[in-house]
Structure 1
C-alpha cells in the first residue's frame, strides 16, 4: 500500500467510479486483494484503486471476471499475457473480422512497449489495442494510437506517455459521469415529470443528441487553452526558443 493513501471501501468505490457491492464481488471472486485492517475497518491503498480501475476497463472490453482473474494473476506473476488475452472468436461464436491493416503481431506489440511495466496489458486495458488471437492484436482506437505515437516522437518516454494516458482516461471518465449526472438531473428529470408521449420522447432524443458531443468539445477546448497558457508562461522554455 502506497504510504499516505488510504480509502475506506466507500471512499474506494467513489474514487473508482463503482459501487461497494461491486467491490465486495471482486473480493469474493478473488480479483481484488483484501484491505489492510486497522481495528475493525479495512483500508485500501493506491494499488487497490489502480486494480479496480483495471478491472473496470477489462469488464468494459467484454472480459468476464474469471478471465480477469487469470489475467491479473498472470500480470502479478509477470507471465506472458498473450495466451490469456488472445481470443479467436466472439462470445456468440462468430469469427472476428479484422482489417488486415489494423493487425499487429503480439510479439511486435510486446516489443513496442517492452520499456513499460506490464506494457502489453496496460495498452489493452487502456483501449488502444484488442486481442484477435494468441498471436495477433488489432488497433482498437487508431486516433489514440496516433496521438500516443506523436507524444513519443516528441521525446516523451513511452512509459510516461502510457501513464499519462491512464490518468487522462480516469479524468475523462469523471468528466463524462459528471455530464451524464447533469443530464439526468435536468433533461431526464423533466422528461420523467412529463406525459412521456411521442412529442416528449422526441424532445428527449433531440436534447440528448445536442448534449452528447458538448462535453468532449468543451474539454478539448479548455485543455488546449490551458496547455498553451502554461507553455507561454514558462519563461525558461520561451527564452530557450528565442535564443534558437
Structure 2
C-alpha cells in the first residue's frame, strides 16, 4: 500500500465526513438546531436550506417536527463555504461531493484529467470475443486467470460482450505471451509493476503539490482560478516525467540484465573449472 499523499484530492477526502459515518465520532454527539448550525458555520439558515435542497448538505435527523444536526453537518457546511471562497460554484461543488461519495475519480471534476493523461493516453475501449481470447491464450485461460484479469481491470464483462478498457496494455500482454511468458506470470508481474509505478507517480505529484499547492495553504484545495495553472503544470510535467522514466528504465534494464546474466555466466564458468 502507498502512504496517502497530501494532495488536493486526499485533502478533500480528509475534510469530507459523511453524517451517516458509524460509529459516530465523539465530536458528532454535539447537536445543533438549524439556527445554531448556521451561526456556528458563519452562514445563514437560508443557505443551509438551499444547500439541502441542492443535495450539498445531507438532511438533519428528524425528531418529531425538529431537525437535529451534528458536527459532521458543520464540517460539510464549512467545507462548502471554503470551496465557495476558493471560487468554486455550487454546481461544481455538488459534482465534486457526489464524485467523492461514489468513490469516483476527482481529476475529471477538477478539470485535470486531460492534462494528467494527455491525449495520447486517452484510449477508446475495444471489444473482444471469448473465442478470440481462447485462441490467443489457449488452455491458460482458466477461471482463475479470468477473475484476476477482471480484478485488474484488463477485461470487463458487459452482458455478452467483453470490453478491453486499454487495448494498448492488452496488446502488450499478448505480445509478451506470444514470446513465451505464461499468462499467469504476466498478470502477477502487472500487479507489482502497477504498485511500483504508483509509488513513482506519487513522488512526482508530491513535488507539484508540495511546491505549487501547499505553499498557498496546505489545508485547502487549489482555488478554481488556480486549476488552469495547475493543469498547465501537469501538461508540461507529464512528457518530462515520461522521459525520465524511460531513461531510468533503460538504465535499470541494463543493470538487471548484466547482473542476472552475469550470475548465470559465472556459475557456468565455475562448473567448467571444477575438475572432473
The structure that has the greater radius of gyration is 2
Structure scoring higher RCO (CA < 8 A, sep ≥ 6) equals: 2
TM-score tier (shorter)? 0.3 to 0.5
Q: TM-score w.r.t. structure 1 length?
A: 0.47
